[in-house]
Amino acid sequence: MKCEIDIAGLVKRFGTNTVLDGIDLCLKPGERVAVIGPSGTGKSTLLRCLNWLDRPDAGRIAIGDLSVDAARASRADVLALRRRTGFVFQNYALFANKTARQNIMEGLTTVRGWPKAKAAARADEILAQIGLADRGDSYPSAMSGGQQQRVGIGRAMALDADLLLFDEPTSALDPEWVGEVLDLIRSIADGRQTMLIVTHEMQFAREIADRIVFMDGGRIVEQGPPARIFGDPQDDRTRAFLRRVG
């Protein structure tokens, strides 16, 4: 099956530190890919480059018929890429001065250019889907961590993006809220939404992913079905990492 998302030769440096060292990755339509690996190995930077929150130094990102080359990407290219990706941050990244409804509306009005009435109606649909139909007028300060992260996920869902990017979506949550957020991500995955998920929740990765990608040192070391990666990893670095977290 043809790639829906094709990442080729992606490089990102911060000063003299090469954080991504030639990443090649293909995602098929509806595929759920979980990225695991040690802290500081470039997992979150990979997601941020795909959404152009961090500009890659080299490489190409193709989503459907859109292809963006890091060496000559224009502002229009970046905006087009962002229209096709939805990003879920580990620390929610909600606007404190906006209600749950307004936070979900934000991308629809600024990225998609929707009129406010249409965006508000869509936001209410999303609030119902994420189990927060009664919290549309609530500000982040009045919501639990789990509710805030559900709003963050709802904001990404509202864009109907080709690719959803989840950056450690449970890492900032108290343990009591982790389950509800993981359940919501599972429900989205059941709709065969193409996803790239950076996570430290190994059991969750095993359950939800069609493929596991193990990164170390800014490179993809090993990838494959969850049963093989967790049951019979081929690379010494993968084995060592899974022993530490297992």
| Residue 39 to residue 5: CA distance in whole angstroms | 25
Structure-block tokens of residue 165:
């990017």
Check the CA dihedral 22-195-137-171 and report its sign.
Answer: negative
Per-residue exposure over 33-46, b if at least 16 CB sit within 10 Å of its own CB, e if not: bbbbbbeebbbbbb
Cross-strand bridge partners of residue 44: none
Q: Does 29 map to a domain?
A: no
Q: The domain containing residue 97 runs over which residues?
A: 93-160
Quote the pLDDT of residue 246. Answer: 74
Indicate whether 209 belongs to any domain. Answer: no
Question: What is the number of domains present in the chain?
Answer: 1
- Residues in CB range of 59: below 8 A, 6 or more apart: 7, 8, 9, 10, 11, 22, 23, 69, 70
Given a contact cutoff of 8 angstroms between Cβ atoms, the answer to whether 101 and 107 are in contact is: no
Residue 166 lies in a domain: no
Q: Which two tokens stand for residue 80?
A: 């087009």
Predicted TM-score (pTM) of this structure? 0.93
pLDDT for position 1 = 59
Cβ–Cβ < 8 Å for 219, 22 = yes
Give the pLDDT score at 133: 97
What is the Cα–Cα distance from 93 to 123, expressed in whole angstroms? Answer: 17
Q: Is residue 61 assigned to a domain?
A: no
Q: Which of 7, 90, 42, 33 is nearest to 215 (CA)?
A: 42
Q: What is residue 151's predicted lDDT score, i.e. its pLDDT?
A: 96
Query: Within a domain: residue 114?
Result: yes
Q: Please report, in tens digits, the pLDDT of each residue of the chain (246 residues total).
A: 578 999 999 999 999 999 999 999 999 999 999 999 999 999 999 999 999 999 999 999 999 999 999 999 999 999 999 999 999 998 889 999 999 999 999 999 988 899 999 999 999 999 999 999 999 999 999 999 999 999 999 999 999 999 999 999 988 888 888 888 999 998 998 888 999 999 999 999 998 999 999 999 999 999 999 999 999 999 999 999 999 997
Q: Is 42 part of any domain?
A: no
Identify whether 180 is part of a domain: no
Kindly state whether residue 240 falls inside one of the protein's structural domains: no
Provide the pLDDT for residue 146.
93
